[in-house]
Structure 1
Amino acid sequence: MGDHLVRGEEFEKNADKKLNGWGLFGSKYEDAADLLEKAANSYKLAKAWDKAGVTYVKMANCHLKSDSKHDAANAYAEAAKCYKKINTNEAASCLEQAVNIFCEIGRLGMAARYYKEIAEYYESDQNIDQAIAYFEKAAEFFQNEEVTTSANQCNLKVAQYAAQMEQYDKAIQIYEEIARQSLNNNLLKYGVKGHLLNAGICHLCKSDVVSISNALEKYQDLDPTFSGTRECKFLADIASVIDEEDVAKFTDVVKEFDSMTPLDSWKTTLLLRVKEKLKAKELEEDDLT
């Protein structure tokens, strides 16, 4: 490890000499960038991630000076990979620089990809507000580039986290829109009932029986096959249980559905919220009698 570190420092020192010396037609920046790339690779081998990140940023600046914008963006992306191991905010900041350059040179597909990556950095760091913001940006860019599948993936992340943060209307809007889009696509139409189920569960969290009933009618108009699905029956049964304010029945309906179609942790969390509200109502009724 020590050898790699020493070698990296040597390459970096030589790069600095190049930058401080004379060079024709910007060639000193190209030469320095080559040396900095070797320095960064040596730092990576030494697992000196901070040094590697700093070096890639210096390399990006050299590329910008010699007007090699694409190479500069790639250097920022490499810096982000190094910082990702030690500092999420720094990694996101470097990728943001890459995105700005890719937007400038019209590489919007790359910009979308890196916005999604920034979102994933924040997601792994449990910074959900920032994750949502960047998944939304990525979705918008993917949509502009007509990469619908990737746009949907990002929007589904936004819906997932919005619902977790009790922003149910926002989540419902996304799930319903993706269901609507998917109906006309042979590859995606099989996911429609799942999106409508997620939207329905968000409606349940609002504890508004009228809203749930209206939503179910709307979903059956949108997709006539939905009325015959287990998902539709489940939502209708839960709606009627909420109307009856029967916690025991609620548990039975959820258990039965889960035995046939296992619920993931997101659905389980939201359904537990519904159950807690139902319990609170039941206790209220008991206190009044």
Structure 2
Amino acid sequence: MDNSGKEKEAIQLMADADKKVKSSGSFLGGMFGGGPHKVEEACEMYCRAANMFKMAKNWSGARAAGNAFCKAARLHMQLQNKHDCATSFIDAGNAFKKSDPNGETCSLMISPLLLPQGRFTIAAKHHISIAEIYESDLVDIEKAIAHYEQAADYYKGEESNSSANKCLLKVGAYSAQLEQYQKAIEIYEQVGANTMDNPLLKYSAKEYFFKASLCHFIVDELNAKIAVEKYEEMFPAFSDSRECKLLKKLLEAHEEQNSEAFTEAVKEFDSISRLDQWHTTLLLRIKKTIQGDEGDLK
């Protein structure tokens, strides 16, 4: 479908809205029915233009839509319409998501507007959207971590513990990749402790304690032994898990500096429970601490 006509109409709407905003601030506009009424009309026109730009479904259209929503948001702010202001900034952030990395600027203005209204969940979701931009489009993991942490804090404010844990697990995974092992350990232990008494979630606790143990293992073998014993005591079901049995085999192989036994234990586990890239990366880091080992896990 050719949406060029819609884009032209949107451009004209933007121009008309700009004129209306300018006239609302003039002396004559204030004397003869301008002011807030014209600003409200301009807000509506900017939003209509933004939605027309969105129909273009291309980079330039998305960026134009984001700019239009931002203009509407600023006018809503001027009129003290906090709810409409926040909504327009959210729409702007979503439009910028695919077209403009700097869309974070609009997105970050949302939280101060939403939090006084107690809208922690919406603020959290928006920080997740920003984190996803940094994950996939900009590949800035440090900033992605910061936004997932902020989202987790907001979810905790709403006592949405399950959603908070999902964000924290993202932080834990990325922290371990960046070799921030202590931070990852604290997160995995926290989430594991939060889930082990929940009948619906306790099965996942063994995975979190497994990940925490691998992080310990990279730092120090003795730390890992102590951690495994602690997790077994905290969560008896962990003792019978395949993850715990693998850890004990790996600890024994590492203590004996036996890289072949280490690899065989990993391969045996992987043949039944497929290890993902995160696990493989950490296991390779552990294996390389065995003297003289530069191999892989094949």
TM-score, scaled to structure 1? 0.93
Structure 2 counterpart of 1:287: none
Q: Deviations over 1:170-207 (max 9, x none)?
A: 1111101111111221111111111111111111222x
**Is there any run of 5+ residues in structure 1 with no aligned partner, and where?**
285-289
Distance 1:15 1:283 in 2: 68
**Is there any run of 5+ residues in structure 2 with no aligned partner, and where?**
24-28
Q: Is 2:155 the partner of 1:142?
A: yes
Distance 1:156 1:108 in 2: 19
Structure 2 counterpart of 1:31: 41
C-alpha distance 283-75 of structure 1, shift in aligned 2 (>3 A)? closer
Q: Deviations over 1:236-272 (max 9, x none)?
A: 1101111111111111000001011110110011111
Q: Is 2:34 the partner of 1:10?
A: no
Judge conservation of contact 2:287–2:293 (CA < 8 Å) in 1.
no
Q: Deviations over 1:20-45 (max 9, x none)?
A: 22245611111111111111112222
C-alpha distance 14-4 of structure 1, shift in aligned 2 (>3 A)? same
Match of 1:176 among 185, 189, 195: 189
Residues 204-219 of structure 1: pairs in structure 2 closer than 5 A: 204-206=217-219, 208-219=220-231
Per the TM alignment, residue 159 of structure 1 is displaced from its structure 2 partner at its CA by 0.4
Per the TM alignment, residue 50 of structure 1 is displaced from its structure 2 partner at its CA by 2.0
Distance 2:213 2:293 in 1: 25
Per the TM alignment, residue 58 of structure 1 is displaced from its structure 2 partner at its CA by 0.4
Residues 1-289 of structure 1: pairs in structure 2 closer than 5 A: 1-21=3-23, 22=29, 23-24=33-34, 26-46=36-56, 47=58, 48-88=61-101, 90-124=102-136, 125-206=138-219, 208-278=220-290, 281-282=291-292
Q: Deviations over 1:134-165 (max 9, x none)?
A: 11111111112100011000000000000001
Distance 1:95 1:84 in 2: 10
Distance 1:61 1:169 in 2: 42
Judge conservation of contact 1:36–1:59 (CA < 8 Å) in 2.
yes
- Aligned residues: CA RMSD: 1.5
Judge conservation of contact 2:50–2:65 (CA < 8 Å) in 1.
yes
Residue 30 of structure 1 aligns with an amino acid whose one-letter code is E
Distance 2:292 2:88 in 1: 60
C-alpha distance 283-4 of structure 1, shift in aligned 2 (>3 A)? closer
Per the TM alignment, residue 283 of structure 1 is displaced from its structure 2 partner at its CA by 6.2
TM-score, scaled to structure 2? 0.90
**Which deviates the most, 37-46 or 163-172?**
37-46
Aligned residues: 280
After the TM superposition, which parts of structure 1 deviate over 3 Å for at least 4 consecutive aligned residues? none
Distance 1:55 1:28 in 2: 17
Structure 1 or 2: larger helix share? 1
Residue 120 of structure 1 aligns with an amino acid whose one-letter code is E
Q: Deviations over 1:211-230 (max 9, x none)?
A: 11101110111011211111
Judge conservation of contact 2:93–2:104 (CA < 8 Å) in 1.
yes
Distance 1:93 1:277 in 2: 43
Distance 1:70 1:211 in 2: 50
Judge conservation of contact 1:26–1:65 (CA < 8 Å) in 2.
no
Q: How much identity, in percent, do the aligned residues show? A: 38
Per the TM alignment, residue 100 of structure 1 is displaced from its structure 2 partner at its CA by 2.1
